[in-house]
Amino acid sequence: MARKVFPPVSAGSVAVDRFHVTRPEMNTMRITLARPDDWHLHLRDGQALRAVLPYSARQFARAVIMPNLRPPVTTVAAAGDYRRRILEALPDEARFEPLMTLYLTDDTSADEIRRAVDSGFVKAVKLYPAGATTHSDAGVTDLDRCDAALAEMERAGLPLLAHGEVTDPAIDLFDRERVFIETVLQPLLARRPGLRVVFEHITTKEAAEFVASAGENVAATITAHHLLYNRNALFAGGVRPHYYCLPVLKRETHRRALLRAATSGSRKFFLGTDSAPHARRAKETACGCAGCFTALSALELYAEAFEQAGALDRLEAFASFNGADFYRLPRNQGSLTLEKRTWTLPASLPYTDGDELTPLRAGEPISWKLLA
């Protein structure tokens, strides 16, 4: 039976395990959850890194950092250097741990995987099918070529993070995730049944069902934007480049399936924003980059989605427990609190010299606010 989270009257506090809904005054509602993690984040480098990192660090204790820099982070040495640059860019008071990833290529060796495991700071390996998305041109052309690396990952339990889309231009853009399951993921898991796989930023009912029915070694991240928007958002009154990401938003039936999966209580689904900043000029142009910048208000967006599903009591496990458990890392200490209060997101944010960043839903209202 569904548990009622919100008392109809101004009752003091309802506790559901460690999760709390409180009403400190009439008309305000707060939720407190254990400090969450972001299991899929693009931080970029240099000035861009310094511009976006504080938004993630104020919400998340840790984040899995995507390696699609130019050049890509393909070695443990490069991941170590990138990690140092992230730590140096952190605001003084921030406590934030970057969990590093390696960018899988046709040439990644089993030795590099062993070094990654031994490093202690590389927590996963990212699969970009070559050409699938932003900075994926150095990605994998054929998984058979990486089999030695995959065998070592299977042996060591190092997760493979899959950008799950085929790149065949003959396949309809909206079908590329579904076809990836049939033609890449299922054969891979048949060949390497012990490989631990996170199906990243899933966008379809088929992916949610596949993950739910797969073994314990298969999990998925889900973004806030795929929980909140369907593909109509891309064309609402005109082309909306800030809603364009890959995998692209799908139909409403898929959004609902994702929301069901995220709020199902299954431990296989967890938070991964895929926040992917691009300068406004690179988005608002004839051939705009894929990626939505959601880090500014990530938790608030997830809270809206979970509230919409009547499942705020499931937000904490999704945001703060399931990912840590899958990655075999300790759950975080500390907590943070969101208040039900409508405010307006900024129209733009500082980014790099001479360019700005437009957050998802810029200049529009959002109904939750993270308290300082």
We find the least distance from the C-beta atom of residue 21 to ligand NCD, in angstroms, to be 32
Q: Is 106 one of the annotated active-site residues of the chain?
A: no
Distance CA 297, CA 28 (A): 19
- Closer of 133 and 322 to ligand NCD (Cβ): 133
CB-count exposure of residue 294 (10 Å: 0-12, 13-18, 19+): buried
Residue 40 contacts residue 101 (beta carbons within 8 Å): no
We find the least distance from the C-beta atom of residue 163 to Zn ion, in angstroms, to be 7
Binding footprint of ligand NCD, residue count (CB under 6 A): 11
Residue 322 contacts residue 37 (beta carbons within 8 Å): no
38 makes contact with Zn ion (CB under 5 A) = no
Residue 291 binding: pick among Zn ion, ligand NCD, none (C-beta 5-8 Å cut-off by kind) = ligand NCD
242 makes contact with ligand NCD (CB under 6 A) = no
Residue 273 contacts residue 224 (beta carbons within 8 Å): yes
Residues 66 to 95: which contact ligand NCD by CB under 6 A?
A: 68
Kindly report the number of other CB atoms within 10 A of residue 43's CB atom: 24
Q: Which of 274, 313, 325, 355 is catalytic?
A: 274
Distance CA 356, CA 315 (A): 31
Distance CA 241, CA 283 (A): 6
Cα-based distances in Å from 297 to 140, 168, 191, 317, 347: 33, 34, 40, 19, 13
- Closer of 50 and 163 to ligand NCD (Cβ): 163
- Closer of 14 and 362 to ligand NCD (Cβ): 362
Residues 268 to 297: which contact ligand NCD by CB under 6 A?
A: 274, 276, 290-291
- Closer of 98 and 291 to ligand NCD (Cβ): 291
We find the least distance from the C-beta atom of residue 246 to ligand NCD, in angstroms, to be 4
We find the least distance from the C-beta atom of residue 234 to ligand NCD, in angstroms, to be 12
Distance CA 324, CA 238 (A): 40
We find the least distance from the C-beta atom of residue 327 to ligand NCD, in angstroms, to be 18
- Closer of 22 and 167 to ligand NCD (Cβ): 167
> SS3 of 350, please?
strand
Binding-site member from 246, 299, 315, 317 for ligand NCD (CB under 6 A): 246
Q: Which of 75, 97, 77 is nearest to 86 (CA)?
A: 97
Distance CA 68, CA 66 (A): 6
Q: Which of 170, 226, 230, 220 is nearest to 323 (CA)?
A: 220
Whether omega before 7 lies within 30 degrees of 0, making that bond cis, reads no
63 makes contact with ligand NCD (CB under 6 A) = no
| Binding string, residues 304-323; x marks residues near ligand NCD by CB under 6 A | --------------------
We find the least distance from the C-beta atom of residue 185 to Zn ion, in angstroms, to be 17
Task: Tell me the H-state helices in 38-182.
Answer: 46-59, 76-89, 110-119, 147-156, 176-180
Q: Which residue is nearest to Zn ion (CB)?
A: 274
226 makes contact with ligand NCD (CB under 6 A) = no
| Binding string, residues 181-220; x marks residues near ligand NCD by CB under 6 A | ----------------------------------------
- Closer of 206 and 274 to Zn ion (Cβ): 274
126 makes contact with ligand NCD (CB under 6 A) = no
Cα-based distances in Å from 233 to 25, 121, 128: 35, 38, 26
Residues 245 to 284: which contact Zn ion by CB under 5 A?
A: 274
We find the least distance from the C-beta atom of residue 42 to ligand NCD, in angstroms, to be 5
| Exposure letters 127-145 (e unless 16+ CB within 10 A, then b) | bbbeebbbbbebbbeebee
- Closer of 61 and 360 to ligand NCD (Cβ): 360
Which residues contact ligand NCD by CB under 6 A? 42, 68, 133-134, 163, 245-246, 274, 276, 290-291
- Residues with a catalytic annotation lie at 274
Which residues contact Zn ion by CB under 5 A? 274
